[in-house]
Each structure stands twice: as structure tokens, then as C-alpha cells.
Amino acid sequence: MGQFIVEEKVEPGFVLCGRIIKENENLVVFVDEVGRFEIPGRVLVYVLAGLGDEELSWGRVRLSVSGRGVYLDIKGVRYAIPVTRVRAVMEGKNRKGPVSLVR
């Protein structure tokens, strides 16, 4: 009989599932098969400054503990966007950025 090799594969903690773009002064979040969500610019500035979480009609926006990510809680599901990409999109350096599902 042959030998069996058991390999455990670890699932990634983040799965790409959408995009962000800037529309006027707002950040627009597109999540695949879920919808389109808008974060007003003033709310984003407040959250990125680390001043606290913000409740919106569709869910909650908050800064990660490390300050390197923005978390969106939409319909009981958590999504993450890197702060560097949020800033680049809002400053006009990048046209779009990634949104990831947090597992």
C-alpha cells in the first residue's frame, strides 16, 4: 500500500468581493451580489481620524484596532478596506480600491 500525505490548507482571512470608488466627495462601496453603499466624506474623515464608529442607514463604519483597515458591517457581515487604499481613492491617486470579506 502507498503512503498518504495529509495537507491542511488554511483558508485566507480576507476574500476579495467588491470595489470602492470616489463619487463627488463620498466613498461608494460596491459589494458583489449585495449592493451599493455610500459613505459620506465627512463620516469617512471622522472615522479615519480615529474619533469613533459611525452608524449609517445600511450599517456601521469603523477603524480597525491597528488603524490599518476600515471595517464595514453590512447586514451582519463584516467587510474590510485597507486605509491606504481608501486614502489613495479619496485623494484621486487611484480610481478604485478593493473590498474584502472578512472570514
List pLDDT tens digits, range 60-97: 999 999 999 999 999 999 999 999 999 999 999 999 99
For a pLDDT cut of 70, what percent of the chain falls above it?
A: 99
- Is 42 a residue whose pLDDT tops 80? yes
Q: Is the pLDDT of residue 9 over 70?
A: yes
Domain ranges of the chain: 14-102
Strand runs labelled E in the chain: 14-23, 26-31, 35-39, 54-56, 59-63, 69-74, 77-82, 96-102
Q: What length is written for the chain?
A: 103
